[in-house]
Structure 1
Amino acid sequence: MTGIVAAPLLRSPKAILFDLDGTLVDSAPDIAAAVNELLATRGLPPLSLSDIKSMIGDGVRKLIERAFAASGTPLSATELDQAHETMKPIYLRHVTDLATLMPGVRETLAHFHMAGIAMGVVTNKPQLAARQVLLHFGLTEFFGVIVGGDAVSHQKPAPDGLLMALDRLHAKPGDALMVGDSIADAGAARAAGMSVALVRGGYTQVPLEEIGADLVCDSMLELPAALQELSTAA
């Protein structure tokens, strides 16, 4: 276990919110397929999976903007709007073809579910796509709420989605934990007044130790034991 900081409100969360892409699911191959199909409609060559991974985390619109810039064809605001509209059906065609669960996800969710902890998903991925992914992997039973990026006015790192999810779970920010893989997740949690745990293996380009989370885990499987360690140390 690494990077544990014993923040009092982290010890016994009554609610846990999870990011989706890079935290619960390795969706990068599907996202890359969608991006490259979009680029192909404009006669542009495909980008590598590693390049596209570095662009994930701030919503589909930002992903498109970064992809075209990396292809040497930056888009104007109007062109970005048009590309975003073109991307919507493409994105939904590439949701679960190549995606896989991150290690330990099902076991960890089952653990928290059995412990009676309320759980939700807050993602910058569009709502419909997020639900498709969770249904595909049979995870919807664990979550009392799913908030997609198009369900709020401001996506992570803004706190809007987290606060909406907590309201629907009837939980207070001070009693809740955000689990993610990136600086956007951490920023949203801090802005919402929540503790935050980050899990390695996602798509962040910033070392997790530099982000300032309350807890850093090498995999999702470590999370229950890490929280228990904090609880018993209290």
Structure 2
Amino acid sequence: MPSAYVFDLDGTLIDSLPDIADALDELILSEGHEALGMERISKMIGHGVEKLVQRGFAARDVSLADGGLSAMTDRFRAIYEPRAAHLTTLFPHVKETVEAIATRGIRMAVCTNKPAGVSRDILGKLGLDPYIPVVVGGDFGGPRKPAPNMVLEVARQLGIEPASGLFVGDSGADVGAARAAGMPVVVVPYGYTAVPPGELGADKVIADFRDLI
């Protein structure tokens, strides 16, 4: 067993796509463009909220300069964050698996490009916060995934060596960050990636979240 589990959030623990897509489409519609829909938006998630907003407008042939991107990102957050857990649910078998890991005394953390505050709110509303005390979000102050900094910060807070932990994610950013930090990594078979899970370069693609135990 690993000394700790480090989870990505969106697309790994939680199915947040309905809330994210609703917020992004509302923003895009408010600017006079046609909505994108969940299927297209699912392929845009990853690398943080700025990238999501940038990709969303690019899909409508709108290029956002630095100032415009910042303003639109702030507007997206204002729409999304108050209702971030309205339609969001846990993926199958996440709750029971997290509880089983906790009974073994193994620590857990979340490492997500989503800001830490809203990530904690979602974990609380979905009942995972008692089991996952460490959350490092994209606003922690250093480079985000796929850079190794966030994974290394999680390992520091957990008090483990990266090589003794296990990262569980769903995207190339997760695999890249874990690899760069020297942490073994597995990916789930679902999630928000345009690349097939088996081609992400993880140590293993698990068939079911319960496979972690």
TM-score (norm 1): 0.88
Gaps of 5+ in 1: 1-11, 225-234
Q: Report the CA distance between 1:127 and its aligned residue.
A: 1.3
| In structure 1, distance between residues paired with 2:41 and 2:180 | 27
| In structure 2, distance between residues paired with 1:53 and 1:87 | 16
Give the structure with higher Rg (CA).
1
Which of residues 67, 86, 93 in structure 2 aligns to 1:104? 93
Q: Secondary structure at the match of 2:45?
A: coil
Match for residue 7 of structure 1? Answer: none
| In structure 2, distance between residues paired with 1:69 and 1:210 | 26
| In structure 1, distance between residues paired with 2:149 and 2:194 | 23
Which of residues 65, 77, 83 in structure 2 aligns to 1:88? 77
Residue 63 of structure 1 aligns with an amino acid whose one-letter code is: L
Residues paired across the two proteins, number: 213
Match for residue 4 of structure 2? Answer: 15
Q: Within the alignment, does 1:114 sit opposite 2:103 as a pair?
A: yes
| In structure 1, distance between residues paired with 2:204 and 2:139 | 28
Q: Within the alignment, does 1:69 sit opposite 2:68 as a pair?
A: no
Match for residue 210 of structure 2? Answer: 221
Alpha-carbon deviations, 1:151-189, whole Å to 9, x = none? 132111111111111111111101111000111110000
Alpha-carbon deviations, 1:71-120, whole Å to 9, x = none? 12121122111111222211212301111110110111011111111110
Q: Which has the higher contact order (CA 8 A, sep 6+)?
A: 1
| In structure 2, distance between residues paired with 1:148 and 1:70 | 26
Match for residue 25 of structure 2? Answer: 36
After TM superposition, the runs of 4+ consecutive aligned structure 1 residues lying more than 2 A away are none
Q: Report the CA distance between 1:147 and its aligned residue.
A: 0.8
Q: Report the CA distance between 1:138 and its aligned residue.
A: 0.9
Coordinate RMSD, CA, aligned: 1.1
| In structure 1, distance between residues paired with 2:18 and 2:7 | 20
Q: Percent identity?
A: 45
Q: Within the alignment, does 1:212 sit opposite 2:212 as a pair?
A: no
Residue 148 of structure 2 aligns with an amino acid whose one-letter code is: P
Q: Secondary structure at the match of 1:141?
A: coil
Match for residue 131 of structure 1? Answer: 120
Q: Secondary structure at the match of 2:5?
A: strand
Which of residues 112, 134, 143 in structure 2 aligns to 1:145? 134
Match for residue 201 of structure 1? Answer: 190
Q: Within the alignment, does 1:50 sit opposite 2:47 as a pair?
A: no
Residue 7 of structure 2 aligns with an amino acid whose one-letter code is: F
